[in-house]
Structure 1
Amino acid sequence: MIKVANRDFTRAVNQFNILNRIREAGRISRVEIAEQTGQSRASVTNITAAMIEQGLIREEQSGDKPSRGRRRIMLALNPDAAFVVGVKISELQVSFAVVDFIGDVKSSLIMPIRVSERSEEIVADFIEDGVRHCVKDAKLNMEDIAGCGVAVSGFVDSASGTCLWTPLKEGQSLIRQLLAERLNMDVFLENDANSVTVAAQWFGQGKGVDDFLVVTMEHGVGMGIVVNGNMYRGHNGIGAEFGHVVMVPDGEPCRCGKNGCIESYVSDGAILRRSRAFLSRRRGEKPDLDQLTIEDVTAMAKNGDAGLKKIFREAGTILGQGISGLIQIFNPQKVIIMGEGVRAGDLVYAPMRRAVKKFVNAELYEATEILLQEWHDDDWARGAAGFVLSELYKSPLDCIRRAK
């Protein structure tokens, strides 16, 4: 006889498999769930009935009109089953998003703050205010929020919620603990690139794809890796630091302390720094270099400034060399490039594609789709919220592995 605890565990695994199948399909019938999960129709009926009662899923009529009889009853996630909040901490701003159980944004907010110039206690107070404002704007109460995800650049051990290094401050960060105390809820800390990778896997262009890479472009360069449907983090959870792979020995200084990293040529900050240095040497009238922004130099390059175009071209070539190495190692189905840096368009990504084609074996090149994802202001925070949703959905098997 199966012990009660084992029966409960088996039922929890079966419920997770059904819930995950509904999430991936969007809308699906009980018969299709049984066929795809291998569970009996009776088991699927009983488990889905309990999930409907719990408010996790709901019934919807099929849009397809049958030749006879009633429309099929489909199952879908209940968007109101849970709400979570995501926070992205950047160098010059903090962004917020409240999302529902299917990842739709209910409210969002961006607040400017020079994070590196403030103490973590002040930053935590600032974030608390932003979270409460965003939750209120979504017409929800703090008690309605199931958890908060915080995304930050740097070396993050998400299992322990520890930020070992971030370019935004010196020393180890305590932001997760500070926010948990202020918000009185579970707070999950994650590397920013990993958080948007989870969002891509659950809601975006990585949905249904077992092997893909995400490369993020903003003030830094990050990466997320999905292999066989699972996020790869490395031995102690801080792998995938693509931006800090050295491509140019003894090259440009990087904020990580090394020289010649991909980030020191490709990130917004690197391109802006190199553009200011180039313009400072130019004869004649110069723009106000202190007020110059990445948007300014991008526009100038797109308008034909040959010197600035060269800086973007070099960035694209170095990025392409780096991505070609990733493709050779991982053989991904997709490489998804996202972040504010996609604004550069062909200035960076045309030379990037040429470099990838040049340095990747033809068979691997043909098997890989490289995508630029249009970027929206709330995508970083939505990614952080998506990470919390992935924790809520987590399989009982994953919970056991994490507890060990």
Structure 2
Amino acid sequence: MKTADPELMRAINRFHVLDTIRRFGAISRVEIGERIQLSATTVSAITASLLDDGLISTRHEGDLRSGGSRGRPRVMLTLNPEAARVVGAKIATNRLVFTVTNFQGDVLANLTLPVRVDRLPVDVIADLVEDGVRRCVLDAGLALDQIKTVALSLPGIVEHGTGRVRASSIFRDTNVPLKEAIVQRLGIDTIVESDANAITMAEHWFGRCRDCDDFVLVAIEESLGLGVMHGGQLFRGARELSLTLGDMIMGSDPDHALKLSEVASERAILNGEHNDPQIRDAIRLGQGMSRVRGLIEAGDNRLKHAAGRAGAALGIAIANLVALFAPPRVILVGSTLALGDHLLDPLRTAFARATPESLANVAQIVIDEVSDELWARGAAAVALGELYGSPWGTTGPARRSYTDFSNAGTRSE
């Protein structure tokens, strides 16, 4: 019988202890053990190490000298917010959003730079990211050498371990070594993550799924992203690839396989309406779908049909996700939600029709119109999760290195 790797188990237990303290605030060792089913000896050893490392601190409740209680005071454990600071960022086609947080995820500063980045060379985008990080850190009253990690999120398919962006609407090129470019400029450990995974972490840490360790998130924007949280951990594919929903096949004929993105992305809904100067300006400002909603309500039936077709396709896609994962909750986020019921009514109708009867009451669909700052804070949460010591993803350890990701190379630890 094969036994577990002791080092791996220690790292897993350490992560669970830190994450429990984060989630429940001031908490005793006994309560930690009860919540994550670890022995008192194991919890004591881990918390002693965390105290030595300065990652947590103690607080006493019920001091005998107060005369108001009997027995020894309870020793409560809390995170040390000053243990580390990280920067999270959301890179979108028309803006860069940054946030600085402390070790427990409290926001110290936010910064938004409204700039069209999707037509710029990679080096220029990396320069803008560097400038944004430096300015946001300064706004937080910190120096760059006080930042432990920078975590960037953007739409597309990302190799989490290497920080290479296989494909993204942000970049003209494929297989962009974004992590390498940022490390060269800042000299700080850098993580690159899909924006769907970042906002999935934000929902789990700060948002609508703080009470839920298993859920699916669909990001509906120019790209259609997918985040899957399982057992409190992000699910990643082979080579730690992020997930995408836009490539899901919705139908086919002998000559063409129809992808969800060809029906339900913002580009598909607009279908050439970029020639309208008002829509072009609205897109540059990140308000394209708000403009489309206004045109629909003014009587534009072509756009109304496109929005309804997109909603119906998304409803079928979400029904497929429910059939695959049976999540208790499906979170919908993203700028396309600005279409309101023109998108959501056909989505709900198609979802109800497509969901198997045996799963009809399993998943709750939650609409969450989150701010840009929460996406960036989610990227910061990805960085913090790794600082907490999470050593695994669903497909294996979270921090890996590979020889050549452009080919089917072998892995080297």
Shorter-chain TM band:
0.7 to 0.9
1:320-339 pair list within 5 angstroms: 320-339=315-334
**Residue among 303, 328, 339 paired with 1:308:** 303
Which residue in the other structure is 2:264 paired with? 266
Alignment identity in percent? Answer: 34
Separation in 1, partners of 2:397, 2:303: 52
**Contact in 1 for aligned 2:292/2:339 (Cα 8 Å):** no
Q: 1:397 to 1:388 in 2, by over 3 A?
A: closer
Runs of 4+ aligned residues of structure 1 deviating over 6 Å after TM superposition are: 6-10
Q: 1:150 to 1:239 in 2, by over 3 A?
A: closer
Which residue in the other structure is 1:132 paired with? 134
1:394 aligns with 2:389: yes
Which residue in the other structure is 1:30 paired with? 29
Cα offset, 1:214, TM superposition: 0.7
1:150 aligns with 2:152: yes
- Counterpart AA for 1:362: E
**Residue among 314, 331, 341 paired with 1:346:** 341
Q: Which moved more, 1:199-208 or 1:309-318?
A: 199-208
Q: 1:396 to 1:328 in 2, by over 3 A?
A: closer
Which residue in the other structure is 2:403 paired with? none
Which residue in the other structure is 2:83 paired with? 81
1:82-231 pair list within 5 angstroms: 82-168=84-170, 169-231=172-234
**Contact in 1 for aligned 2:90/2:372 (Cα 8 Å):** no
Cα offset, 1:259, TM superposition: 6.7
Separation in 2, partners of 1:110, 1:9: 39
Q: 1:14 to 1:224 in 2, by over 3 A?
A: closer
Separation in 2, partners of 1:289, 1:19: 47
Which residue in the other structure is 2:15 paired with? 16
Cα offset, 1:362, TM superposition: 2.9
Q: 1:68 to 1:150 in 2, by over 3 A?
A: same
Which residue in the other structure is 1:299 paired with? 294
Q: 1:343 to 1:104 in 2, by over 3 A?
A: farther
Q: 1:62 to 1:323 in 2, by over 3 A?
A: farther
- Counterpart AA for 1:172: N
- Counterpart AA for 1:16: F
1:366-381 pair list within 5 angstroms: 366-381=361-376
Unaligned runs of 5+ in 1: 1-5, 251-257, 281-286
- Counterpart AA for 2:107: V
Cα offset, 1:186, TM superposition: 0.4
Cα offset, 1:374, TM superposition: 2.4
For the residue of structure 2 that corresponds to 1:371, the secondary structure is strand
- 1:34-80: CA deviation from partner (whole Å, max 9, x where unpaired): 333444445534543443353322334679xx995487543222222
**Contact in 2 for aligned 1:275/1:308 (Cα 8 Å):** no
Q: 1:291 to 1:135 in 2, by over 3 A?
A: closer
**Contact in 2 for aligned 1:9/1:396 (Cα 8 Å):** yes
Which residue in the other structure is 2:407 paired with? none
For the residue of structure 1 that corresponds to 2:218, the secondary structure is strand
- 1:181-209: CA deviation from partner (whole Å, max 9, x where unpaired): 11111011112112222222333333342
Separation in 2, partners of 1:161, 1:359: 37
- 1:219-249: CA deviation from partner (whole Å, max 9, x where unpaired): 2110011234332222233353211213254
Q: Which moved more, 1:16-25 or 1:80-89?
A: 16-25
Q: 1:50 to 1:373 in 2, by over 3 A?
A: same
Separation in 1, partners of 2:281, 2:326: 42
**Contact in 2 for aligned 1:274/1:311 (Cα 8 Å):** no
- Counterpart AA for 1:245: M
Separation in 1, partners of 2:76, 2:301: 57
